[in-house]
Every structure is written in structure tokens, then in C-alpha cells.
Structure 1
Amino acid sequence: MEEVASQVLVGLANGVMLALLAAGLSLIFGQMNVVNFAHGAIYALGAYLGFLMVDRLGVFWLALVGAPIGLILVGIVTERWLLRPLLDRTGLEPLLMTFGLSYVITESIRVGFGKIGKPVDIPGELSGTIPLGFMDFSKYLAVAAAIGVVLLVLTWLLLERTDLGRIIRAVAQDSAMSMALGIDVIHVRRIVFCLGLALAALAAVLSAPLRGVHPDMGLEILVTVFVVVVVGGLGSFGGSVAGGLLIGLVTSLVSMEWPQWKDVAIFILMSLVLLARPRGLLGRE
């Protein structure tokens, strides 16, 4: 029983990281109706930006600020010059653009940093464990999960309790009507795209000390993130959070006895959810 409890805590903590990453992907889809296949590569780029800051400056916490800023700048350029010209086209052009961008970023990382992964040191003040009686829980994982929860709550407050959030939701529901009412739809889409990339950077920096960084990390996590978004519901921020926690929990529990089946388990879960709720747990109509 104690082992189950420990795996639940680890699964929920890892689920928070997945939720951060999936929330960014879901926001971009909800606003721009584009499945961003480059999201995993963007995540990897954020992790490497964090690695550079820790390696050169020696201060992990600066990476939590610097990496999101770096990806926001990437987002501004990507949205303006690569995605915006394709958004009004029908067909696969936007999807193929993000697919190609994913490989450009991944190969650029491989050329710039090499094929071998690199570790990211846990901040000294967060090394060690927290005794919980039935287990010793990683101090860093606990703090990283807490930071992730705070970031998710702040994002929810932005979307649900601010004028900007109401505008974002209005554009997501009906961009043509929003434009007729005088809302700068292009500007709103740019903001949401950059917000999605910033969330990916934060998830990457928080996860880097636990998993290290390597060029293919974005491609490896992308499938899992798509499962999270589909389970939670495409375009739903709350669904991404619920899906992330659920997938993190299932992966952790299955790993106890059948680690080789953990990836299969999440696809079985996705299939069951889609059979019961084709739009996902909290998907919009």
C-alpha cells in the first residue's frame, strides 16, 4: 500500500509537468485550429535554453525566466512569418509547416549541441528528500510540481478572470464575429501562441533536472502529449490539466508491475475515453 501511495504522488507530480506542456498545445489548437507538431521540438528547445543558462550562469532559477522569454521571441517570429500566412488556407499546409519546423529545430539542436544527452543539475538547495513517513519524496520534484500547479492556476485565472481571457475565449469560439466586433484577432492569436510556447518552456525547464536534455526528447514526449490532449479534450485548458494528471498517474501505477506496458496503457486509456466520450473528458462541443 505504501508503494502504491508513493507511485500516486510521483505520478501526480509528473502529471503536472505533462499538463503544463499539453495546456500550451491545447491553447494553440483552440485559438488557431492548428495541430502544432512542432510543440515537442519547442519543448526540447526550451530545455536546451534552460541547460545553457544553468551551465553558463550557474543559477537554475534564471532559466525559469529566460527560457520562456526566449521561446516567446521564437513564437513571435514563427507566428508572423510561418503560420499566419497559412491560417486562412484549407488543407494540410499549417500542419505540414509545423511538422517540418519540428525537424528543423530537432536537427538544429543535434548540430549545435551534439547527439549525446546532457544532465542538468538539481539546484543545491533542493537536493535530497522530504520524509513523509511511508516514503522519502524528492524535494526537487515536490517543489517543481508545486511551481507547476501555481503556473496552471495563474494561466486559468488569466483565461477565466481577466478581460484578455474573455477576448481569447471569444476569438476561439467565433473569430469572424470577434473581428466584426473590432477585436484584433491576429494579435490575440499571437499572444496565445506565445503563451503556449512559454508554458512548454516552463515544463521543459522544470523537467530537465529530472530527465536531462537530449535532441530527441521533444519527439519522444510529443506522442504522450497528444494522448493527454485527446483524453482531456482538444482545445480545453481544463481538459489538458485533467488529462495530464490522469496520464501521469496511470503511467506511474502501471510502471510498478509492468514497466514495459506503460506506453501501451495510455493508449488503451485513450481508446476507452474516446469510446465513452468522443470529444474527450472536457472537450468543447
Structure 2
Amino acid sequence: MSLYLFQALNGIGLGMIYFLISVGLTIIFGLLNFVNFAHGAYYLLGSYLCFTLVSLTGSFWLALVIAPVVVAMLAWVTEKTLIRRAYHLPHTFHILITLGIALIIQELSIAIWGPIGKTVAVPDALSGVISIGDFFYPKYRLFVILFTAVIALALWLLLERTRFGALVRAGSEDAQTVSLLGTHIHKLFALTFALGVGLAGLAGVLAAPIRGVHPFIGPEVLGLAFVVVVIGGMGSFSGALVGGLVVGLVQSLMTTLWPQGASLMIYGAMAVVILLRPYGLFGRA
């Protein structure tokens, strides 16, 4: 029983990281109607920035603050100089442009940090385990669960209780009307793109001490993010949260029950959702 509880908590932690990645993807698509295939590459960049900052300063907490901000700023610049010019183009162009960005980030990562994976140490304050009777669980993984839950709450408040969130939600319905009402729509687009990508960078930082860093993880993360979005429903905050937890729990529990089929069962869960609810658990037509 302790093993399954351990794996369930691991699944929740992974699921919350997947939520951070996929909610940025779904926010960008919901407002901008833009398919960002570079999302996994920005996660990769967040992980490598974490590794560099920890190596230089010895502080994981500094990396947790700085790395996502740097990734978000890079995304903001990319949106203003390149992405903005492609909004009116068909989705095939979005895919080609963002795949190009992803390849550039991946190859630059190999050129700067090398093709060999890196490890990031768990911060001293979170090393070790917490014991509850006969049950032991790593402090850092518990921190990830609690920290991402706080981020999820803050993000929900931002989207549901602020003017910015109201504009994002209204813009996802009709961006042209929001623009006609006096909103600087290009500024809103740039901030939304930076927020979504910054969340992917934050996920990369949090996952670095757990899964390490290597330059080819971007496509894997992107694939998982799309699975989460398909399960939860495109454009849905709740869908990204529930979809992330479903994928994380399935992946973690199946690692114990059927290790060879853990990845297969993720896509099996997605197939079941598509058959029953083609637009996802919380998606709209």
C-alpha cells in the first residue's frame, strides 16, 4: 500500500508540472489561436538556465525566480519580432515557425551546454525525506506539489479576478471586439504569450532536480503537453489541471503496475477521452 501511495504522490507532483506546461499552451491557443510547437523548447531553456544559475550561485531559489522571468522575457521579444507577424497565417505556418524556433533553441543548448545531460542538486533545505509512521516521502517532491498548487491558485485568481484575466477570457471569444473597445490588443497578446511560455520555463526549473536536464527533452515534453490539452480540452484552465493530474497519475502508477506500458497507457487514456468527449473533458466545440 505504501508503494502505491508513494507512486500516487509522485503522479500528483508530475501532474502539477504537466499542468504548468499545458496551461501555458492552452492559454496561448485560447487567446491567440496560435499553435506553439516551441513550448517544449522553452521548458528545456528553463531547465538549462536553472542548471547554470545553480552552478554559478549555488542557489536553487534564485534560479526559481530568475529563470522563468528570463524565459518569459525571451518569449516577449520573440512574439514582438516574429510570432506577431504570423497570427493571420494558417496554422501550418505557425507549426513551421515554432518548430524552427524549437530547433534553434535545442541546437544552441547543445552548443552551449553540450549533448550530455546535466543534473541539478536538490536545495539543502529540501533534501531528505519526511516520515509519517512507516511512510517516507522526499521533501522536494512534496514541495513541488505544494508550490505548484499555490501557483495554480494564483493563476486562477489572475485569470478570473483581474482585468487582465477578463481581457484574456474576452479576447479568446472575440479578439477584434476587445480591440475595438480600446484594449491594446498586441500588448495583450505579447503579455499572454510571455505568461504562457514563462510557466513552461517554471516547470522546467521545478523538474530539473527530479528528471535532470538534457537537450532532447523538448519534443517529449511537447507531446505530453498536447496529451494533457487533448484530455482536458483546449482553452480550459480546469481542463489543463485535471488533464495534467490524469496524465501524471497514469504515468506514475503504470510505472509500478506495467513499466513497459506506462507511456502507452497515457495515450490510451487520451484515446478514451477522444472517443467519449471529442473536445476534451472541459473543452468546447
Partner SS, residue 82 of structure 2 = helix
How many residues of Structure 1 are paired with residues of Structure 2 in the alignment?
285
Q: What does residue 254 of structure 1 align with?
A: 254
Q: What does residue 190 of structure 1 align with?
A: 190
Q: What does residue 172 of structure 2 align with?
A: 172
Q: What does residue 62 of structure 1 align with?
A: 62
Aligned counterparts, 1:76-87, within 5 A: 76-87=76-87
Q: What does residue 159 of structure 2 align with?
A: 159
> 2:4 matched to 1:4?
yes
Residue 270 of structure 1 and its aligned partner are, at CA, apart by 0.3
Residue 133 of structure 1 and its aligned partner are, at CA, apart by 2.7
Q: What does residue 30 of structure 2 align with?
A: 30
Residue 201 of structure 1 and its aligned partner are, at CA, apart by 1.2
**TM, length-normalised to structure 2:** 0.97
Q: Which moved more, 1:85-94 or 1:225-234?
A: 85-94
Contact 2:35–2:91 under 8 Å retained in 1? no
Q: What does residue 74 of structure 1 align with?
A: 74
- Partner Cα separation in structure 2 for residue 178 and residue 60 of structure 1: 40
Equivalent residue letter for 1:248 = G
- Partner Cα separation in structure 2 for residue 262 and residue 134 of structure 1: 27
Aligned counterparts, 1:122-161, within 5 A: 122-161=122-161
- Partner Cα separation in structure 2 for residue 70 and residue 22 of structure 1: 19
**TM, length-normalised to structure 1:** 0.97
Aligned counterparts, 1:101-112, within 5 A: 101-112=101-112
Equivalent residue letter for 1:97 = I
Partner SS, residue 147 of structure 1 = helix
Partner SS, residue 136 of structure 1 = strand
> 2:220 matched to 1:220?
yes
- Partner Cα separation in structure 2 for residue 127 and residue 89 of structure 1: 49
Partner SS, residue 16 of structure 1 = helix
Q: What does residue 229 of structure 2 align with?
A: 229
**Deviation per CA, 1:192-228, whole angstroms, max 9, x where unpaired?**
1000111111111111001111101112221111101
Residue 134 of structure 1 and its aligned partner are, at CA, apart by 4.4
Equivalent residue letter for 2:232 = G
Partner SS, residue 130 of structure 2 = strand
Identical aligned pairs, as a percentage?
43
Q: What does residue 19 of structure 2 align with?
A: 19
> 2:48 matched to 1:48?
yes
Q: What does residue 263 of structure 1 align with?
A: 263
Partner SS, residue 174 of structure 1 = helix
The CA RMSD over aligned residues, in Å, is: 1.1
Q: Structure 2: which 5+ runs fail to align? A: none
**Deviation per CA, 1:221-273, whole angstroms, max 9, x where unpaired?**
21111101110111111111110001000111111121110110011100100
Q: What does residue 245 of structure 1 align with?
A: 245
